[in-house]
Chains A and B, each alone.
Chain A
Amino acid sequence: MAQQTLPQIPIKKGEPAYKLWIFEPEWKGELPLILNPRQLAEQKRAAILPGHRLCAGCAAPIIVKLASFAFRGPTIVVNATGCLEVATTIFPYTSWAVPWIHNAFENAAATASGVESAIKAFKKTGRLPWDHVDVVVFGGDGGTFDIGLQSLSGAAERGHDFLYILYDNEAYMNTGIQRSGGTPKYAWTTTSPVGSVLPGKTQHKKPIADIMVAHRIPYVATATPAHWLDLMKKVRKGIEVNGPAFIHALSSCDRGWRHDTALAIEVSRRAVDTCYFPLWEWTPEKGYMLTDRSLSIARNPKLKQPIERFLEVQGRFKHLLRPENRHLLRDLQEWVDKVWEDLLNRAVNAPR
């Protein structure tokens, strides 16, 4: 099939790069997945436009931008309440080049169920002018691990055809850094402060991606904006599968993680290098498969870095580097090692 692009792509010289994505009803085909940086720069427009109010150094818009480079055609975005939602749509402005809806905090997946069902009903009655309209959800960790888990689980069980991208900044950053089910153990947040008795959050992070694997939906993956090719490929797979897909993307927050604004990509890279956040994908057919840097680490364990490498650049963990807290650091390292080991045992492409 001849691949087609958006009508206004490639961008002509002197033309603004921030245009809405217009798919006229006669539009047919698929947008190509471009992995070459030069072609990407010349031929792709992001679905998130400049001018949004996300903080300097925030990883969320990078994730959205990369994900949108992998969209295959007409796409409707659903957004849970959170940083991304409030900072991209302050009325009367919007940063979204594609149709976008925010309903509430805990119901992004249910809202997507409705959008997807409407598309199906239109298709059934000949009222959908395109071959397919994809539905992509962006939700933060609060809206996914915690308040939105029921809605997500329900939508996954019902088998709606949508891709849910969790941008996990590991706390309620929008309301000011409160702990969530996605906050790692020993992290400082404003509701798990480091005190004379408590060393930050006292519970581990919920294994959200494994919870989604347990639903046996067609596609589950983890990703970071530092491993951008990996992320784009996974988004495209998630869109292409027939049924629910879930991508857990680590999304650093310099305000909440207390790191320099220039470190969003670096800290994401270290999360993978230390095996704190391994990169993998899962399908019901193949099971767990390590990808990108995590596959390299599995093949060459010397590449695995100690957890300090991830923690040392972040103020939220600075108490762990104090000599009297060495046992906490050891505890965290043991947890990371155990989870990594479990994953190695499960991953079909890990060396035995």
Chain B
Amino acid sequence: MTEAVKTPHIPLEKQKLLTVNGDEAVAWAAKQSLVDVVAAYPITPQTIIVEKFSEFVANGEVHTEFVPVESEHSAMSACVGAAAAGARAFTATAANGLALMWEILYIAASLRLPIVLAVANRALSAPINIHCDHSDAMGMRDAGWVQLFVENVQEAYDTTIQAFKIAEDERVLLPVAVNLDGFFLSHTLENIHILPDEAVHEFLGGYRKVPKVKVDYFDEEVPLMLNPARPLSFGPLDLYDYYFEHKMHQVEAMKRVPEVVREVNEKWYELTGRKYGDGVLVPYEVEDADVIVTVLGSTGGTVRHIVKKLRREGKKVGMVRIRMFRPFPHKELAEILKNAKVVGVMDRAISFGSYGPSFLEINTALYDYKEKPLLVNYVYGLGGRDAPPELLEKMFHELLSDAEKGFVEKKLRFLGVRE
């Protein structure tokens, strides 16, 4: 949810009002972010991003090299090459396209390349389905990427710009995925405010600046890039004598991500007057809540609507939207959830033979607390199945009754599926 600030550096009247869908908003953000290389392959519901961006290229509105690759695998591969050469690189995909990228997602993260990827979340085949769920994003959760989930089209725009700032921060140097729900956001028109180009350029510090590192061969620090003036080798064979230490660098970098995400969220707030919770979590009415629901993505809006409604009816309910899924904010989320009686964890994906991905995280987060809420996992919306307000209200009533009973009969529940 956006909160208004009194005096943003760029007041709302100086921001341009744009009526766009989520994909176009992402394309606008990429356009203003001085991206050097966009390599992308069409896949519904992401395609509009690259279509829109191609228009910017065709009209000479950007300096970007657009690489219309022959597959998503090559899209991510080209981004790796471009980012290693020192460029700011961007791509977008969904579902099977993201699955095809999977191998290179790990390489992008392990080479510490600050690539930004927009994922218009869509269900994975089979059966083939073009509509929203989060199974695609959950397939990359262990790849070493920062994963942000947005709730609306404005946030898709804001977060895409923020993603470059986060990825390129020297404390982070990790790729960032911006997840927007397929169709619910990617194809839904909204009025959004966008910044003047120069304000975005200034926010990002202009073109990408490559960090400098110390390596044995050179006396001075050298840019971490493919540079004929100071040649380095990227992606060498790395065996049992060093690989583990390099993985530890990624572990440490991930630890530094939340503070950077919070800082960027704050800076964005000062600039635009918009912020999303603390950047990591977006809680609503949680202080005295007996029942709290956690959710990712666009469903957050509907859940908030129901929380409002039930609060008016005197029910002690609240919600937390998880904006950052990787790194997962275990401690911060546990602190919010620990005093509730029941927590309903909504997952738009399932790990077959287990639970929903965020349910597992939240169990881990709460395990060490002596006093902790009961947990219920709601798997919903697979393959784009709608999650209308009535359905979510029913879920809250179930949870309220669980809270009253003091125990949970069925831990894993499927919402909105035919029996």
Interface of A toward B, CB cutoff 8 Å = 20-25, 73-76, 78, 85-86, 89-92, 94, 96-104, 106-107, 109-122, 124-125, 127, 129-130, 133, 150-151, 153-155, 157-158
Contact = CB atoms under 8 A, between A and B. Distances in A.
Interface in B366-387: none
Which of B63, B70, B231 has its CB near the most chain A CB atoms (within 10 A)?
B231
Contacts of A76: 85, 226, 228
A114 B82 contact: yes
Which of A90, A102, A104, A111 has its CB near the most chain B CB atoms (within 10 A)?
A111
A320 B207 CA distance: 62
5 contacts: A90-B238, A94-B236, A101-B226, A114-B87, A154-B69
Contact of A121 (B65, B230, B233): B65
Contacts of A116: 81
B78 A129 contact: no
Which of A85, A98, A110 has its CB near the most chain B CB atoms (within 10 A)?
A110
Given A121-B36, A125-B207, A150 B81 contact: no
A323 B217 CA distance: 59
Contacts, number: 181
Contacts of A114: 37, 39, 67, 77-85, 87, 89
A130 B230 CA distance: 13
Given A74-B228, A118-B36, A121-B64, A90 B69 contact: no
Interface in B57-111: 63-65, 67-71, 73-75, 77-87, 89, 103-104, 107
Q: What is the interface of chain B mostly: helix, strand, loop, or mixed?
A: loop
A115 B231 contact: no
Interface residues of B, number: 49
B74 A154 contact: yes
Given A23-B228, A91-B242, A117 B236 contact: no
Contacts of B39: 110, 113-114, 117
Contact of B233 (A75, A96, A124, A129): A96
B228 A104 contact: no
Q: What is the interface of chain A mostly: helix, strand, loop, or mixed?
A: mixed
A104 B238 contact: no
Contacts of A74: 228
Given A75-B228, A89-B233, A91-B236, A158 B67 contact: yes
Contacts of A117: 36-37, 39, 65, 67, 78, 81-82, 87
Contact of A20 (B77, B86, B217): B217
Given A110-B73, A119-B85, A157-B70, A86 B231 contact: no
B216 interface: yes
A98 B230 CA distance: 8
A292 to B, nearest CB: 31
Given A107-B104, A115-B81, A121-B87, A99 B231 contact: yes
B351 interface: no
Contacts of B238: 90-91
Interface in B221-273: 225-239, 241-242
Which of A86, A99, A154, A157 has its CB near the most chain B CB atoms (within 10 A)?
A99
Nearest to A160: B67
Nearest to A79: B235
B78 A89 contact: no
Contact of A130 (B70, B217, B228, B239): B228
A78 B89 CA distance: 18
A97 B231 contact: yes
B65 A25 contact: no
A118 B73 contact: no
Given A73-B228, A125-B207, 16 more contacts: A74-B228, A90-B237, A91-B242, A92-B216, A99-B227, A100-B233, A101-B226, A110-B75, A114-B78, A115-B226, A118-B89, A121-B65, A122-B87, A130-B228, A153-B70, A154-B69
A94 B233 contact: yes
Nearest to B115: A114
A60 to B, nearest CB: 15
A118 B232 contact: no
A139 to B, nearest CB: 13
B71 A86 contact: no
Interface in B280-307: none
